[in-house]
Amino acid sequence: MNLQLLFAVFAGIALLLFLILRLKIQAFLALLIVCIAVGILAGMPATDILETMKDGMGGTLGFVATVVGLGALFGGILEQSGGAQRLASFMLKKTGEKNASWAMMVTGFAVAIPVFFDVAFIILVPVTYALSRKTGKSLLLYAIPLLAGLAITHAFIPPTPGPIAVADILGADLGWVIIFGFLAGLPAAIISGPVFAKFIAKKIHIEPLAFDDEDEPDERMSPSPGLIISIILIPIVLIVINTVLGSPFFAEYAIPSELIYIVELLGHPFTALIIANLIAWYFLGVRRGMSKDYLLKVATKSFQAAGIIILLTGAGGAFKQILINTGAGEMIAESLNDSFFNPLLFGFIVAALVRVLQGSSTVAMITAAGITAPVLTGSDFSMAQTSLIVIAIASGASIMSHVNDSGFWLVGQFLNLTEKQTFKTWTVMTTLIALVGLGVSLLLWVVV
């Protein structure tokens, strides 16, 4: 084993954590600094280091920037239309107060597909306030399932930025990631959501914060729940159809080339999200009386949240390419191949360590993907197995949210929790998500 390369890798990871945790340097800048440091320590020529960083950034952003941008645009229109809260109210009416916690879980699961986690939470948390006041039960009974649904979809299911970035860095197929994201996400949502909420609500009774009803959007002016659900499902269904049709399950069937062409075109994430955006633009905007100037402002504002994620993902791609070009990735891969250490577990552990140490799940996912990607280079893992590694990394990056995660404080503030109560509720919930996600991924690994 090349000790110089091994030292370069571990020194680079240590430097990354030091820059982010101790010096509070923005993760994008920290990743680029670490790329240069690892290249120098590994003995790469200066021009090769910079060319590798450029290639890694460009190769990653060509796909991710487009998909994240389209996803942010889609979510912005849905948010401004009031569709998210209308969908929540619809679910509650269908399930009744007795099953309201399950309705909140399903709502969170659906809404977080196009809308960023924090935005979706702020939009929907007033619904949990109203339920708590109406029933007299702890706010946690309704808020925890909502948070579980939001957190799981945000981490597990494209077109949210995290799994998109990891899938691209690892070379996984988005269709398989969506399928496995649902298979792992649903049991994780149930256990960390309604099941855990029922338990913890008996231990901790939380009264909702005061909420001004005048600030609530008029649901009579919001789009119908059926329309919202249909528009959300459009890109997912198109991508999954493309994946399933191109899988070995249909290899023996003589499918007309014209049909394959259409499915491949419409089922690509670019096209699927473009179609969803156009439909949302018309049915949620123009048809409901929004001016084109207003829609343009909504679209422009929606890109603000996507910018940092795009840049951070690009830096993660540069880090991955440095590890590959130095030969460090190949060395790690050979050592793993000579052992019984499952790459799925490897990705989970790396993501979990980064998550606990620096807080951001997105940074944890991208960093873990960059470190894990070289392990898969030249391997004979199937596309399904590679996609399961994406879910394992997403699970690790969800674990044990605490004081260095902005989500910890956001949840504590809006649910009126003390720091100790936030640990007992939010932190435990995120840990349950991670462990269940890992467990289901390991079971699926055996099957595929």
- Residues 229-241, mean pLDDT to the nearest whole number: 80
Tens of pLDDT, residue by residue over 29-88, are 888 998 999 899 988 999 999 999 998 888 778 777 887 788 778 777 876 777 766 766
pLDDT of residue 215: 46
Tens of pLDDT, residue by residue over 351-392, are 888 788 767 787 788 888 888 888 787 677 888 899 999 999
Using CA atoms, how far residue 223 sits from 83, 214, 271, 280, 284, in Å, is 6, 19, 24, 10, 7
Structure-block tokens of residue 244: 């399933």
pTM exceeds 0.75: no
pLDDT surpasses 60 at 333: no
Tens of pLDDT, residue by residue over 123-143, are 677 678 777 877 788 999 999
Give which of 46, 38, 50, 39 is closest to 10, Cα–Cα: 38
Q: Model confidence at 324, in pLDDT bands (50, 70, 90)?
A: confident
Give which of 398, 323, 335, 321 is closest to 365, Cα–Cα: 398
Categorise residue 41: left if φ over 0, alpha if ψ from -120 to 50, beta otherwise.
Answer: alpha
> Cα angle vertex 42, ends 39, 45, to 5°?
60
The string of DSSP codes covering 170-182 is HT--HHHHHHHHH
Report the alpha-carbon distance of residue 409 to residue 402 in Å, rounded: 8
- Residues 209-238, mean pLDDT to the nearest whole number: 68
pLDDT surpasses 80 at 244: no
- Strands (DSSP E) found in 1-141: none
Cβ count within 10 A of residue 332: 22
As a whole number of angstroms, the longest Cα–Cα distance in the chain is 67
pLDDT of residue 211: 47
pLDDT of residue 339: 56
Q: Which range, 89-93, 118-122, 318-322, has the best average confidence (pLDDT)? A: 318-322
Q: How far apart are the first and last CA of the chain?
A: 32
Cβ count within 10 A of residue 196: 20
Percent above pLDDT 90 for the chain: 21
- Residues 228-257, mean pLDDT to the nearest whole number: 75
Using CA atoms, how far residue 260 sits from 110, 171, 250, in Å, is 29, 22, 11
| Inter-residue contact 424 to 200 (CB < 8 Å) | yes
pLDDT surpasses 90 at 303: no
pLDDT of residue 341: 67
Report the alpha-carbon distance of residue 202 to residue 141 in Å, rounded: 9
- Residues 95-104, mean pLDDT to the nearest whole number: 82
Domain locations in the chain as residue ranges: 3-447
Report the alpha-carbon distance of residue 119 to residue 114 in Å, rounded: 11
Q: Model confidence at 252, in pLDDT bands (50, 70, 90)?
A: low
pLDDT surpasses 90 at 25: no
Tens of pLDDT, residue by residue over 183-212, are 999 999 999 999 999 999 999 998 876 544
Q: Model confidence at 276, in pLDDT bands (50, 70, 90)?
A: confident
Burial of 260 (0-12, 13-18, 19+ CB in 10 A): middle
Amino acid at 97: E
Using CA atoms, how far residue 39 sits from 1, 423, 436, in Å, is 18, 39, 37
Give which of 288, 179, 270 is closest to 227, Cα–Cα: 288
pLDDT of residue 447: 86
Report the alpha-carbon distance of residue 353 to residue 135 in Å, rounded: 40
pLDDT surpasses 50 at 214: no
How many residues are present in the chain? 448
| Inter-residue contact 49 to 35 (CB < 8 Å) | yes
